[in-house]
């Protein structure tokens, strides 16, 4: 049997470029699933998706199907969605409430903490059959700011340390709950024929915005078009460590609890009028300022971005196909008018029929198609020198600093695993 020589992952990522094989080589993809998605902290859910004891949702960690559950003690569990008997999935429902999961094949039943509670006709097993040995496999689970992550790696650092400097930006992002808290309010899901890292890069790429999203920009009123002129507002990109980065496009929308006396934009005046019927003026200003989301994208390696007003979640399917979810957010128990406005804003840009996402998806597919050309070419990430003098890595808003951060993490995880 022939063996390929081992791949030198470190040689494929330089400080200012990555090798095209990172988009195209199925062997690299397989290694990524193992070394990244079966290893580091992967986002699986927001706390609002599990509102009560018994709540669950099904999702994936990398390519592995999992069930995310909340037990009666409030704890969150992430369980491999695979019966320990003969391997059938025990839940094919996207979300719901159930304290028990019963395998449809032979009716082995599991509590929502994963413990095997009953096996039909148990007398047919040997006397030393021990149900405790056949729980659903549980992953390690930790949360920060309502974001729930899971990992297969018992040795990895605590989530708080993994997120590090990104935690401050998660706190800022969640201020768009306007005091009510953030809740998931539906999602758009679509697939594109391209490698997952092309999408990972895009959430920290302001450079493409005026080019790819010209039709979106010209559909806006003048005031909003100026707000979305993202390259000319003094924004920046900062490497936050561990592959995470933040791209600030609208510096005046970093902290939604500041500048509450700023004038209400024209496009939100009708909403402000509607809210004023039931809320005092200061609360109206707080809600209206939060309703359009923040002015930044926080990229969390490897699969989540807290992007302005929504979560972007990516799921690698194969080396050249990726699934994207754009998760809409609302104010938990907040005013109906404000939440409706948030839904309409989400529909406007996001999803397979929005004014923005289809153009992004086309650009990503073009990268995958174009990268078939050439034998030994590189993807350039050399835009934007480091502007910080204090040891941080900060570039102007159009710099590729965030992509370099992600690929340095990729290199660290891939080369040392």
Pick 353 or 377: Cβ nearer another protein? 353
Pick 347 or 396: Cβ nearer another protein? 347
Pick 220 or 387: Cβ nearer another protein? 220
Give CA–CA dist 140/180, Å, rounded.
Answer: 29
Q: Bridge partners of 304?
A: 300, 313
For another protein, the binding residue among 134, 207, 355, 378 (CB under 8 A) is: 355
Contacts of 186 (CB under 8 A, 6+ apart): 327, 328, 343, 346
Residue 12 and residue 277 in contact, taking contact as beta carbons nearer than 8 Å: no
> Is residue 252 within the footprint of another protein (CB under 8 A)?
no
Give CA–CA dist 342/292, Å, rounded.
Answer: 7
Residue 320, classed as helix, strand or coil, is: coil
> Is residue 320 within the footprint of another protein (CB under 8 A)?
no
Give CA–CA dist 125/108, Å, rounded.
Answer: 13
Q: What residues from 45 to 84 belong to the interface with another protein (CB under 8 A)? A: none
- Shortest approach of another protein to residue 182 CB, angstroms? 15
For another protein, the binding residue among 233, 357, 368, 371 (CB under 8 A) is: 357
Which H or E run contains 314?
Answer: strand 310-318
Give CA–CA dist 306/292, Å, rounded.
Answer: 13
Beta strands at 140-144 and 244-248: parallel, antiparallel or unpaired: unpaired
For another protein, the binding residue among 282, 344, 388, 392 (CB under 8 A) is: 344
Give CA–CA dist 359/206, Å, rounded.
Answer: 14
For another protein, the binding residue among 14, 85, 140, 340 (CB under 8 A) is: 340
- Shortest approach of another protein to residue 349 CB, angstroms? 11
Give CA–CA dist 72/202, Å, rounded.
Answer: 39
> Is residue 267 within the footprint of another protein (CB under 8 A)?
no
Q: What residues from 181 to 220 belong to the interface with another protein (CB under 8 A)? A: 185-192, 212, 214-216, 218-219
Binding string to another protein for residues 80 to 109, with x set by CB under 8 A, is what? Answer: --------------x---------------
Of 184, 345, 216, give the one whose Cα is nearest residue 268: 345
> Is residue 359 within the footprint of another protein (CB under 8 A)?
yes
Upstream peptide bond of 262 is cis (omega within 30 degrees of 0): no
For another protein, the binding residue among 27, 270, 353, 388 (CB under 8 A) is: 353
Pick 304 or 409: Cβ nearer another protein? 304
Pick 344 or 392: Cβ nearer another protein? 344
> Is residue 147 within the footprint of another protein (CB under 8 A)?
no
What tokens appear for 145 in the block? 């700011």
Give CA–CA dist 397/205, Å, rounded.
Answer: 8
> Is residue 269 within the footprint of another protein (CB under 8 A)?
no
Pick 103 or 184: Cβ nearer another protein? 184
Residue 46, classed as helix, strand or coil, is: strand
> Is residue 278 within the footprint of another protein (CB under 8 A)?
no
| Burial label, 327 (beta-carbon count in 10 A; 0-12, 13-18, 19+) | buried
Pick 212 or 231: Cβ nearer another protein? 212
> Which residue ranges make up the site for another protein (CB under 8 A)?
94, 185-192, 212, 214-216, 218-219, 323, 328, 336, 339-340, 343-344, 346-348, 351-353, 355, 357-359, 361-363, 366
């Amino acid at each position: 049997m022939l063996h390929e020589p081992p791949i030198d992952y470190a040689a494929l990522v330089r400080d200012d470029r990555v090798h095209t094989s990172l988009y195209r080589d199925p062997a690299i993809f397989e290694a990524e699933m193992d070394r990244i998605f079966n290893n580091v902290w992967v986002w699986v859910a927001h706390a609002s998706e599990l509102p009560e004891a018994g709540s669950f949702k099904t999702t994936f960690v990398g390519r592995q199907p999992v069930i995310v559950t909340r037990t009666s003690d409030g704890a969150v569990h992430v369980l491999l969605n695979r019966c320990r008997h003969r391997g059938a999935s025990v839940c094919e429902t996207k979300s719901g409430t159930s304290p028990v999961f019963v395998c449809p094949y032979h009716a082995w039943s599991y509590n929502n903490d994963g413990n095997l509670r009953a096996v039909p006709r148990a007398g047919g097993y040997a006397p030393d059959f021990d149900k405790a040995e056949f729980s659903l496999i549980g992953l390690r689970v930790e949360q920060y700011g309502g974001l729930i992550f899971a990992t297969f790696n018992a040795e990895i650092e605590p989530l708080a340390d993994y997120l590090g400097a990104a935690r401050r930006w998660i706190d800022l992002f969640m201020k768009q709950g306007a005091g009510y808290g953030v809740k998931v309010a539906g999602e758009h899901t679509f697939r594109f024929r391209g490698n997952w890292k092309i999408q990972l890069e895009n959430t920290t790429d302001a450079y493409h915005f005026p080019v790819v999203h010209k039709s979106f920009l010209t559909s806006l009123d003048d005031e909003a078009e100026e707000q979305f002129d993202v390259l000319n507002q003094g924004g920046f990109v900062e490497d936050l460590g561990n592959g995470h980065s933040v791209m600030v496009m609208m510096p005046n929308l970093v902290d939604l609890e500041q500048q509450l006396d700023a004038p209400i934009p024209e496009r939100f005046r009708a909403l402000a009028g509607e809210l004023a019927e039931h809320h005092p003026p200061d609360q109206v200003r707080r809600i209206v300022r939060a309703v359009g989301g923040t002015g930044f994208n926080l990229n969390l390696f490897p699969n989540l971005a807290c992007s302005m007003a929504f979560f972007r979640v990516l799921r690698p399917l194969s080396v050249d196909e990726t699934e994207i979810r754009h998760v809409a957010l609302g104010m938990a128990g907040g005013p109906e008018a404000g939440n409706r406005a948030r839904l309409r804003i989400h529909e406007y840009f996001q999803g397979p029929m929005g004014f923005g996402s289809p153009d992004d998806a086309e650009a990503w597919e073009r990268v995958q198609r174009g990268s078939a050309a050439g034998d030994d070419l590189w993807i350039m990430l050399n835009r934007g020198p480091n502007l910080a003098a204090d040891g941080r890595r900060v570039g102007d808003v159009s710099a590729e600093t965030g992509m370099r951060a992600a690929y340095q993490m990729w290199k660290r995880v891939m080369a040392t695993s």
